[in-house]
Structure 1
Amino acid sequence: MVGRRSDTRERIQRVALELFAEQGYEKTSLREIAERLDLTKAALYYHFKTKEDIVHSFMSDLASALDDLLEWGRSHRDSAHAREEVLRRFSAVVAGEYAPVLRFMQQNMPAMRELGVKHAFAAKIQELFRLVCAGEDDPATQLRSRLAVVALMLQANPMFAADPETLPPADVALRVALELAAPRD
């Protein structure tokens, strides 16, 4: 039964993200989400009382994935291999199941501010910057390391592409990020 509830929760999150992308967060109602899922509103309310609850749920899932990444990075500080692995793991987060969440965030900044989740995400990215810059004193090297993180975030951001179909594939973004963060001789 737990698996079924989790599956329904994930389906609600996925469909909500689809509708938010199609219509915008503000113009999407719980009724529309329930209809798309072929659920009653009561069944939807069992999992989420409001659209805000849905957003907080997928932001919490993203935060948990980033916390796991940051925890791993903190325990493996100060090595070039650890920096590369942090970037690889971050690439997997932003190119994988959380890509739609990142797109939602970027396309709905006013809602993100209103819901109070933007600052928590920004704090995690700041810590990620600190991890990839650990032990680097040279400002140019620090900038390249930060740009490596940004390069990975760009793969999920249609705002930076002339056509959303031209977003860099995950492997290309990761290769560029690793080149940016590689130690210079």
Structure 2
Amino acid sequence: MGARSDTKEKIQDVALELFGEQGYDKTSLREIAERLGVTKAALYYHFKTKEEIITSLLQAAGERLDVVSEWLAGKEPTPENRRELLERYAAAINEGGRHFKLMRLMQENQPALRELAAGMKGHERMQAFVDFLTGPGASLADQLKARLSIIVLHMGQFTLQETDSTPEERQAAALEVSLELNG
């Protein structure tokens, strides 16, 4: 990874911190630059707006899930492959350690970020994963279990944050529940 990628990641990390501390709307590019110890012009070289920073974070998350989708292509929905789908999904969303902060940001700033998230293809991807987990003609209860098995992977870190546990322990617990929901 080059210096430019490292700088972009540092910007994204600092932005996520500040957005979490102050809220998305109350954080400026100037504050992000100050926290980084760079000029606003240096920050502007990588990201011209806060929206570009968030979009880059959402795109990175989407790209990791696209890799899972690519793995899924052509696979038979065997119990082993369904399990592996959930394991790969969990690994993809937890890669880089930003998922919890991004989830919190999206939750706490829904009105400001709704349109940015709407442009992502998450709905179609989710439907493909649910279809793989359930198969054709699945009951509503089985469709719900499949959706919940994916959602719990996202929410595990978020809902267990107040517990005396590590991020890895929360991730493992979420995967365990996800696999149980999927049967």
TM over 0.5: yes
Q: Deviations over 1:129-151 (max 9, x none)?
A: 22222356343333222221121
Which has the larger displacement, 138-147 or 102-111? 138-147
Q: Could you say what the CA RMSD is over the residues aligned between the two structures, in angstroms? A: 2.1
- Provide the secondary structure at the position in 2 that maps to 1:176: helix
Inter-CA distance 115–151: structure 2 relative to 1 (3 Å threshold): closer
Aligned to 2:67: 68
Which has the larger displacement, 89-98 or 63-72? 89-98
Aligned to 2:36: 37
Summarize the alignment of residues 1-185 of structure 1 with structure 2, pairs less than 5 Å apart. Answer: 3-97=2-96, 98-99=98-99, 100-115=101-116, 117=118, 120-135=121-136, 137-157=138-158, 160=159, 164-166=161-163, 169-182=170-183
Query: Cα offset for 1:16?
Result: 0.4
Which has the larger displacement, 57-66 or 144-153? 144-153
Aligned 8 A contact 2:64 2:93 in 1: no
Q: What is the number of equivalent residue pairs in this alignment? A: 177
Q: Deviations over 1:46-96 (max 9, x none)?
A: 100111111111111111111111121233231111111110111112333
Task: Please list every run of 5 or more consecutive structure 2 residues that lacks an aligned counterpart in the other structure.
Answer: none
Runs of at least 4 residues off by over 6 Å: none
Aligned 8 A contact 1:91 1:152 in 2: yes
Inter-CA distance 104–144: structure 2 relative to 1 (3 Å threshold): same
Q: Distance in 2 between matches of 1:71 and 1:102?
A: 24
Q: Percent identity?
A: 44
Aligned 8 A contact 1:69 1:86 in 2: yes
- Provide the secondary structure at the position in 1 that maps to 2:121: helix
Which amino acid is 1:53 matched to?
E
Q: Deviations over 1:11-37 (max 9, x none)?
A: 000110111011000000000000000
TM-score by length of 1: 0.85
Aligned 8 A contact 1:94 1:156 in 2: no
Q: Distance in 2 between matches of 1:156 and 1:103?
A: 10
Which has the larger displacement, 84-93 or 71-80? 71-80
